[in-house]
Amino acid sequence: MRTAIDNYLKAIFECSLSTKRTTNKQVACYLKIAPASVNGIVKKMEQHGLAYQRPYGPIMLSTKEMQRALVLMQRYRLCEAWLVHDFELPLTTIPHQAWEIADFDDAQLVQQLNQYLDYPKASPFGGAIQNVDQIVNDGSQPLINFEAGQTVRLCSYLESENTINYFQNIGLSLQQTLTVGEYNPQKQTIAVTDRNARTLKISEKIGEYIYVSLVKNTIVVD
């Protein structure tokens, strides 16, 4: 059965995917709980050497807990791939179901599931499965880190219901290329243009959790 620590490890890992650190506010938003609740759990994790946080600073996992989080994430993403492969479920339900199903500690089961699925390289949301280095860092960065005029490829996105719904409703797809446009500080949106010259306005908050990589030979417009 999943523990609160498991849930927090996953939340901290996913919220700190590109920077290796996150904030109480980001974790609270991800878990849909009050920031005060995050403060209490993080302090307990610090006491047991599971994570560390400077006063009012970012949260980071300890080396030991990062290794534990990697095992959790690898099995979780493998189960996501399995659910998409074998069951006609709405995509928004996949993360929760996969997280519950992946609560097992059997290396043989992992191997058999991998063989059955022909060793999937990535989850339905783009997260790496087989390559541990890529699970930690696949070279992608949040969309909000890129400048107008740069062309990027969409690599993955956060497996939260809000982000999945947004991703589907706006018509984005993994591996598509986008040209970054201007940031609108009043509306807090980033403009992007796809290959069909369709311009989309992406919320800055969502742009933090859409991970892209720079396409080579991109020309940056001043």
Per-residue pLDDT tens over the stretch 62-117: 888 888 889 999 999 999 999 999 998 999 999 999 999 999 889 999 999 999 99
Alpha-carbon span 109 to 202, nearest angstrom: 40
Please determine, for residue 165, whether its predicted confidence score (pLDDT) is greater than 90.
Answer: yes
Angstrom distances, CA of residue 181 to CA of 190, 193, 202, 219: 7, 7, 10, 13
The pLDDT-based confidence of 173 (bands split at 50, 70, 90) is very high
- Whether residue 15 is predicted with pLDDT greater than 90 in this model: the reply is no
Task: Tell me the pLDDT of the chain averaged across its residues.
Answer: 89
Q: How far apart are CA 121 and CA 100, in angstroms?
A: 21
Task: Tell me the per-residue pLDDT of 34-53, one tens digit each, with 9 for 90 and over.
Answer: 888 888 888 888 888 888 88
pLDDT of residue 54: 76
Express as a percent the part of the chain with pLDDT over 70.
Answer: 97
